[in-house]
Structures are given as C-alpha cells and as structure tokens.
Copies of this chain bind each other. A is one copy, B any other.
C-alpha cells in the first residue's frame, strides 16, 4: 500500500492485490503468469487490468520489464540494478550482479538522448 502511494499510484483493490502477490520474493513473471496467479487466489483480476497494472508498475519503477524472449515480456520484481542469464532452451532466467559484467564507462550516447537503462543478457544453453 505505502509503496504504491509513494510511487504516486492510487492503491485500488486490484493493484494492491497484484502487488501483494508479486512483491514477495524475486520473480520473473509474464503477464499471462500473473493473470493465472490471480485466478488462483480467489480474487481474479481481468486481463486488461493485469496488463494495465504491470505497465503502470513498470513505468513507476516498482517492476522492471525484461525483454529477453521474443514471445513475451517478463516482469521482474527484483528492482535492484542487476542483469540476467537466460537459458534459451529451458527458459530459465536468473539474476546476476551487474558489477561482474559492465565496465564503469559507457560510450557516448547519441545526440539529444538520455540514458534510460542498460540491459545485459547472457544467453546460455545446456551443454551437448
């Protein structure tokens, strides 16, 4: 509730409910998985509301969109800065600390643009 308020989000029944279900433990969930989760809690939320809410939470920094799979967006409840290892065969997605990957200095950004974020994806597959 407070987290939503702080982020300037009206804490409606559905939003609070989604927040409660999601913001426990670090997870990477698709919209469809969230929709499904809500169904099983006894208080289902409509598809449109799930999409609206995930989009809103992402825009306000409560969730992070992870664009890693051509077929769906994942929503990341770990909102500390970090990067990802993605197993393109099993679909397993895990977090890695960003210090291990990035050098401290980014290249110059294009004229008239500002940084929004840096995403690093290490794609792996099962051996053999």
Contacts and interface: CB of A to CB of B under 8 A. Distances in A.
A122 B112 contact: no
Contacts of A7: none
Nearest to A68: B67
Copies of this chain, tallied across the complex:
2
Interface of A is mostly: strand
Given A67-B70, A68-B67, A113 B124 contact: yes
Contacts of A67: 67-70
A116 to B, nearest CB: 4
Interface in A70-128: 70, 73, 85, 87-88, 92, 94, 96-97, 100-103, 105-107, 109-110, 112-127
Contacts of A116: 88, 123-125
5 contacts: A67-B67, A67-B68, A96-B107, A109-B124, A119-B123
Given A92-B110, A94-B110, A116-B125, 17 more contacts: A65-B70, A67-B67, A67-B70, A100-B103, A101-B103, A101-B106, A109-B122, A113-B126, A113-B127, A114-B124, A114-B125, A114-B126, A118-B120, A118-B121, A118-B122, A119-B121, A120-B121
